[in-house]
A and B are shown apart, each in its own frame.
Chain A
Amino acid sequence: MTTETTHTSPSVEHVENHGMSNAGYIRIAAILAAITALEVSTVYVDFGPLFLPALLIMMVVKFIMVVSYFMHLKFDNKLFSFMFYAGLVLAVGVYAAFLATFKFFIQ
């Protein structure tokens, strides 16, 4: 049995597949630029004990925004998310264990 899932209009297909307009992409890029500026400001402004957590949180937020919106993972089939995040989680787990064997986290 063959199930036809193609769309008739390219513009309709675009919106349905990716869920964002060009203006939406520009808004995301502006937010990413603002977060980058905030990241750079941590070099010049004393954030105290919040310095490291703030930097890591901003890094993760930027990562998730690019993956979700620019790479369309938020709007795409969940199998793609699984394939990518499986690799990512495996990498973080393996290398966190690797660094732990070198006592990296207690230096």
Chain B
Amino acid sequence: MTDITAHGHASSTGISNVKLGMWTFLGSECLLFGGLISTYMLYRGRVTGGPRPSQIFDIPFTSVSSFVLLMSSLTMVLAVSAAHKSEDRKTNLWLTVTALLGATFVGGQVYEFTAFYNEGLGFSTSLFGSSFYTLTGFHGVHVTVGIIMLMSLVGIFKRSKVSGNKAEVVEMIGLYWHFVDIVWIIIFTLVYLIPV
């Protein structure tokens, strides 16, 4: 038996294969970030002469960055909502705002990395430095990839070259974006708020 999903393509399960694939991918991403977070938790106290986390972390600054990323999840879900209602102009607007908020977060991360480096925490200064830069750097790369996808989507939509269901495409990128946000929710608490 073949069902046609809500997004209009045939599937033996009656649910979207694209969506199932995305959720499976996000499940596997949990393992990737789980490894990076665990490694950081293990090494966060190994500073070997370099600065300690409490000496360099700027909690007010990172809190604002976290708030910006959290609000980008709101604008993303509003983009998905607009896409489902076939409101193309609103969809493009919210996707662009989401990308801008994401770029603000990445900009903040670049500033933070530069400040930490100037305060003596290089990638190879200590195990704390290596695990911190690897974890937050991997997250930053994920946000950057998300921004590229969002801006590509806006460009493709403006040229009306999207094949298949627009709403599903926006929803898939939305799932990726929200995942990046939930990873930061964990990083913000475990890395920044819980002292060593």
Contact = CB atoms under 8 A, between A and B. Distances in A.
B28 A79 contact: no
Interface in A6-55: 6-7, 10-11, 13-14, 17-18, 22, 25-26, 28-29, 32-33, 36, 39-40, 42-43, 52, 55
A63 B59 contact: no
Interface string B66-94: 11001101101110110011100000000
Interface magnitude class on chain B:
35 or more
Given A13-B6, A70-B178, A104 B28 contact: no
A69 B181 CA distance: 13
A70 B73 CA distance: 7
A92 to B, nearest CB: 7
B4 A91 contact: no
Interface SS of chain B: helix
B141 interface: no
Interface stretch (B32-40, B105-113, B120-128): B32-40
A10 B167 CA distance: 10
Contacts of B85: 10-11, 14
B4 A2 contact: yes
Interface SS of chain A: helix
A4 B59 contact: no
A21 B30 CA distance: 29
Contacts of B190: 59
Interface stretch (B7-15, B131-139, B146-154): B7-15
B27 A56 contact: no
B13, B80, B185, most chain A CB atoms within 10 A: B185
Given A91-B30, A92-B34, A104-B42, A26 B4 contact: no
A52 B81 CA distance: 36
B1 A79 contact: no
Interface in B157-196: 167, 174-175, 178-179, 181-182, 185-186, 188-190, 193-194
Interface string A64-107: 00110111000011011001111110111011001100101000
Contacts of A86: 27
Which A-B residue pairs are the 7 nearest by beta carbons? Answer: A87-B27, A91-B34, A14-B84, A29-B74, A95-B38, A59-B189, A87-B30
